[in-house]
Amino acid sequence: MFKTFRTAFALKNTYRVNGIIYAIRRTFLVGKLVPVSLYRSQGLKVFANILSVAWEVISAFLGKCLYLLVLMCGLGELLDKAPQWQVFLHIFFVLTIIGAYMNTYLFNATRDKYYAISLMRMNARTYMLSFYIYAMLRVVVGFLPFTILFGRMSGVPLWICLLLPLFVAGGKLCCVWIYLVRYERTGRNPDENKLNKWDWILAAVLLAAAYGLPCLGIVIPWQAIVALMALAILGGALSVKKVARFPFYRELCQMMLAEKKSGLDPKVTSQKLVQEASRKKISTDVSITSKKKGFEYFNELFIKRHRRILWNSARRVTIGALVAAAAGAGACLLNGQAAQVVNESLMRLLPVFLFVMYALNRGTAFTQALFMNCDHSMLTYSFYKKPGTILRLFWIRLREITKINLAPAAVIGLGLSLLLYVSGGTGAWINYVILPVSILAMSVFFSVHYLTLYYLLQPYNAETELKSGTYKLLSWVTYLFCYMFMQVRMSSLVFGAAMIIFSLLYCAVAGVLVYKYAGRTFRLRN
């Protein structure tokens, strides 16, 4: 088993190193300095493998540390209506349930599984078990020092801190047992990358319970949590036998990896996944038309035919925001302590909503739909790449994506003003205006940002694969920027005003950049 793990790990490192070199060669400016011969550099590969192994060790601890630091301590500090150590236990317990069934570490159709099991014909059972043992060891060893550190800082007894990593591993093993038994009885694909809507609904409910209940001063009794953790640990230990002796790992892997049977060429796989996800949602009604002219006519036909792709998610978010605002307002009216917490939070936690709006924005989906179902064909015409044409379509499309994103943003913004009012209000009336307007400004910013990146970098090739290293880098920087603002505590008035001004300036700069450079960058990639 160790030999299989060592071979598979070396294979994983090899394609990871090649992927890094490929991404560097596709990065703006830097890529021109990196020759193709770099793939053959043995010294670089040895160095990259050392870095890869070091990253495995670091990531085993770093991810767990950030998870506990942000989700437990950072947000737990806001919830002071129950003893802090009980809030810590409550949040950890509920979030672990979500992670147990959404991320088992076993049923994940990754490329390294495809290479090892489908192409190299490794023993599926040995491969799966060796990597799963490794994953469970990473969970326990990675969590242990930080559950002790942050748990003790919150006042959790040491013996409970020691149980927490075992609870995480036990919960995942219990879910794996359930999935394996279900597979034997029904043949249902357990791929965790294909969760159904009920899985997501359950996750949303549990997430609301994790943070919403402590806001109301309600936490699961610690005695009940400890008892359930002990049951999960015992259940996980009993599940080991089932996991170790399961006889159908190859058949299960063939089912999970069926999407990757296009071979080593990832283009077909990527294209298939993207097209199948959207084709069913595109209207084929030939009677759809428009009374507009020119590019407005062209754009309106696209919007009407792709309404389900573009608007369904926005509608769901809007409805969810309405329900959340109504529930929050009701909680404030019924519970004076909850009202005080909400009021204080709204006055200094507006920067947190920058990350919320980042997560809800539909800019990436919009540009992907634009390319796959429109631009990848139109870019073969020279007139479509002229600066005037590009700028005209840019503003038209910006108007449309802004309309899509503004619907949930408006509900969220107005909901925040409502919560501020019912939770006790504020003496400065301008806060009732700055909250919704700043949320709208955030929505506009992300709409402009993603459409601008699309026009300036055009990251997709003809097979709708994301090929631009620069685009990936800037997307990651955007995520990091928004994530960092979750830790900022600033007056809502100051942050909101700054966000509104910044969004207006960003729109102006984006228009200039698109007009000046998109004629050279908005093209089909090889």
* Lowest mean pLDDT segment, chosen from 265-269, 386-390, 424-428: 265-269
According to the model, what pLDDT value does residue 266 have? 42
According to the model, what pLDDT value does residue 268 have? 45
Tell me the average pLDDT across 227-250. 90
Whole-Å CA distances, 113 to 8, 110, 270: 9, 5, 17
Mean pLDDT estimate for the chain: 78
SS3 labels along 317-329: HHHHHHHHHHHHH
User: By percentage, how much of the chain surpasses pLDDT 70?
Assistant: 79
Tell me the average pLDDT across 38-53. 67
> Quick one: 236 and 316 in the same domain?
no
Tell me the average pLDDT across 34-53. 66
Residue 281 lies in a domain: no
Residue 282 lies in a domain: no
pLDDT digits (tens, 9 = 90+) for 116-139: 777 777 777 888 888 888 888 888
d(CA 327, CA 126): 50
- DSSP result, 226-268: HHHHHHHHHHHHHHHHHHHH-S-HHHHHHHHGGGGTTTT-HHH
Q: What is the DSSP letter of 461?
A: B
Q: Which of the listed residues 260, 282, 309 is the one where a domain comes to its end?
A: 260
How many domains in the chain?
2
Altogether, the residues listed in the chain come to a count of 526
Confidence band, pLDDT 50/70/90 cuts, at residue 483: confident
pLDDT digits (tens, 9 = 90+) for 405-425: 888 888 888 888 888 888 887
According to the model, what pLDDT value does residue 173 have? 93
According to the model, what pLDDT value does residue 299 have? 73
Tell me the average pLDDT across 383-397. 83
Residue 498 lies in a domain: yes
| Phi, psi values for residue 458, rounded to 5° | 35, 80
Helix (H) or strand (E) holding 126: helix 124-154
> Quick one: 168 and 311 in the same domain?
no
> Quick one: 352 and 234 in the same domain?
no
Q: Which of 516, 370, 492, 391 is nearest to 442 (CA)?
A: 492
d(CA 344, CA 420): 9
> Quick one: 465 and 361 in the same domain?
yes
Tell me the average pLDDT across 373-400. 81
pLDDT digits (tens, 9 = 90+) for 440-466: 999 899 889 988 988 888 887 766 667
pLDDT at 267 over 50: no
Q: Is 477 left (phi over 0), alpha (psi -120 to 50) or beta?
A: alpha
d(CA 155, CA 142): 20
pLDDT at 300 over 60: yes
> Quick one: 196 and 319 in the same domain?
no
393: exposed, middle or buried (C-beta count within 10 Å: 0-12, 13-18, 19+)? buried
Note every long-range contact of 267-270, with CB atoms under 8 Å and residues 24 or more positions apart, other chains counting: 267/461, 267/463, 267/465, 268/463, 270/463, 270/464, 270/465
Q: What is the DSSP letter of 491?
A: -
Residue 308 lies in a domain: yes
According to the model, what pLDDT value does residue 274 have? 47
Whole-Å CA distances, 270 to 30, 143, 290: 26, 34, 33
According to the model, what pLDDT value does residue 232 have? 92
Q: What is the reported pTM?
A: 0.60
Confidence band, pLDDT 50/70/90 cuts, at residue 168: very high
pLDDT at 270 over 60: no
Tell me the average pLDDT across 53-72. 75
**Domain range for 381:** 291-521
pLDDT at 329 over 90: no
According to the model, what pLDDT value does residue 158 have? 92
Residue 20 lies in a domain: no
Contact 304, 297 (CB under 8 A): no
> Quick one: 391 and 510 in the same domain?
yes
Q: What is the DSSP letter of 202?
A: H
Note every long-range contact of 294-299, with CB atoms under 8 Å and residues 24 or more positions apart, other chains counting: 295/389, 295/392, 295/393, 295/396, 296/396, 299/393, 299/396, 299/397, 299/400
d(CA 521, CA 526): 13
Tell me the average pLDDT across 313-334. 83
pLDDT at 88 over 70: yes
> Quick one: 244 and 303 in the same domain?
no
Residue 189 lies in a domain: yes
Cα separation of the two ends of the chain: 42
> Quick one: 321 and 224 in the same domain?
no
Q: Is 26 helix (H, G, I), strand (E, B) or coil?
A: coil
> Quick one: 256 and 397 in the same domain?
no
pLDDT at 254 over 80: no
d(CA 166, CA 174): 12
Residue 265 lies in a domain: no
> Quick one: 247 and 317 in the same domain?
no
Which positions ≥6 away from 346 have C-beta within 8 Å? 416, 419, 420, 423, 435, 492
According to the model, what pLDDT value does residue 79 have? 53
> Quick one: 443 and 501 in the same domain?
yes
> Quick one: 255 and 319 in the same domain?
no
pLDDT at 349 over 80: no
User: By percentage, how much of the chain surpasses pLDDT 90?
Assistant: 9
Buried b / exposed e along 376-392 (16+ C-beta atoms within 10 A): beebeeeeebeeebbbb
Residue 408 lies in a domain: yes
